[in-house]
Structure 1
């Protein structure tokens, strides 16, 4: 059984004390594929070092995270474009809009999001979307950029059924993580109405650890808890869900 974690920040400082052990724990449980989203230029070397250490398991994205869109965002976008032109990446991400922490840079986030979608189209790559308290704003940008070549993952999906269906209409798959195990997560109430062919699994480690680890540091090993919950929701065998969601990730990322 091969499990794919489509979103994990294994280069994060949260893993500085036990990164290799955390990866080995996941590998031993069948998590073989780790897709690594970018944050900003200060983390690029950490990502490259991680890939060099685990070249068969680590797949890198490149992008500017919306919470890191600040006054210098155009310089950061130049870095994204330089990296995309210099080597292989598997997606542009994570990108999008986050209005949870502050709304000061909304216009800049919108501009950065659209620009990175255009880069993804230019390099024929999927996008991985971060959306927090910003469904309307994200959908507005997607509407302006819809068309051939637009595809990807709506990472850490936490919306309702209507928002899920709208995300799918833009050729996105839904990234399902620890929230699906939360008692107040709500997405477990309607997820079975979405075809499993539209679902990929993720952890967003070190964030959003699933039950029973909620509130603690997340790690890719805990995707097995997400897998168990999704299998329960769809009333399917765990190995079948692992196979289908891994195949879905291959459809998105091309590998």
Structure 2
């Protein structure tokens, strides 16, 4: 069985002391495709280094994370556009992009503008988007509504909404990125996922964050993608091998691999 982690911060400082061993644990678990989201210009060198070290397994996104949308966001968006235009670089999505009102609500307008501009870049380069949404479903859907139609597709990363929001996200051409939250007792999404066709689901970890049970509260890593898949096997009453096959196919279809 092979698995795809559609969203993992492999370049995080949380892995500084054992990064190679962490990667080997992922490979040993069958997690052979790993996608790194972009945060901002300061994090790109470490992201590029991971791809160069593991060219057959690591795939990159380019984008400006909503919590890194600051007063200089126009400059950061120019950097995103520059990197996407670089013929020497290969990106598989524009992400992670979106709206985050958990930490700061003062730059909502700027976050939405950055989100919209990056969706337009994704359309220009015929790439999917990888959405970050925290405490901001209405504000995120507002932008998606303005950009809906041909060329809009991707993954709603770390989906944590309700059934209605899940259907709405799918209606905008998004797959649902399901990670450790599905294993939490208070995660709630496990209560309705069985009513979402598995063709709309991809696996992710968001490592080093949101580790699944039984590692909740500890550092997450890509090997734990399998634990999320095991939870989905329970929810869908399907063999683990089928979860691996379908979610890997779904991820390949989104990212164009």
TM-score range, shorter chain: over 0.9
| Cα RMSD (Å) | 0.4
Asked if residue 66 in structure 1 is aligned to residue 66 in structure 2, the reply is yes
Asked if residue 54 in structure 1 is aligned to residue 54 in structure 2, the reply is yes
After superposition, the C-alpha distances for 1:207-253 in whole angstroms (9 at most, x for unaligned) are 00001111101000111110100010000000110000000001100
Displacement after TM superposition at 1:88 (Å): 1.5
Report the Cα distance in structure 1 between the residues aligned to 2:187 and 2:256, rounded to whole angstroms. 30
Report the Cα distance in structure 2 between the residues aligned to 1:75 and 1:210, rounded to whole angstroms. 36
- 1:231 match: 233
Displacement after TM superposition at 1:26 (Å): 0.7
Report the Cα distance in structure 1 between the residues aligned to 2:75 and 2:238, rounded to whole angstroms. 47
Q: Helix, strand or coil for the counterpart of 1:208?
A: coil
Displacement after TM superposition at 1:75 (Å): 0.5
- 2:11 match: 11
- 2:23 match: 23
Q: How does 1:53-202 map to 2 (within 5 A)?
A: 53-86=53-86, 87-202=89-204
After superposition, the C-alpha distances for 1:79-99 in whole angstroms (9 at most, x for unaligned) are 100000002200000000000
After superposition, the C-alpha distances for 1:122-162 in whole angstroms (9 at most, x for unaligned) are 00000000000000000000000001000000000000000
Q: Which runs of structure 1 show a deviation greater than 4 angstroms over 4 or more consecutive aligned residues?
A: none
Q: Helix, strand or coil for the counterpart of 1:142?
A: helix
Q: Helix, strand or coil for the counterpart of 2:62?
A: coil
Number of equivalences: 255
Report the Cα distance in structure 1 between the residues aligned to 2:250 and 2:189, rounded to whole angstroms. 19
After superposition, the C-alpha distances for 1:192-219 in whole angstroms (9 at most, x for unaligned) are 0000000000000000000111110100
Report the Cα distance in structure 2 between the residues aligned to 1:91 and 1:23, rounded to whole angstroms. 22
Report the Cα distance in structure 2 between the residues aligned to 1:204 and 1:215, rounded to whole angstroms. 13
Q: Helix, strand or coil for the counterpart of 1:38?
A: coil
Asked if residue 247 in structure 1 is aligned to residue 236 in structure 2, the reply is no
Q: Helix, strand or coil for the counterpart of 2:131?
A: strand
Report the Cα distance in structure 2 between the residues aligned to 1:31 and 1:209, rounded to whole angstroms. 16
- 2:39 match: 39
Q: Helix, strand or coil for the counterpart of 2:132?
A: strand
Please report the TM-score for the alignment, with normalisation by the length of structure 2: 0.99
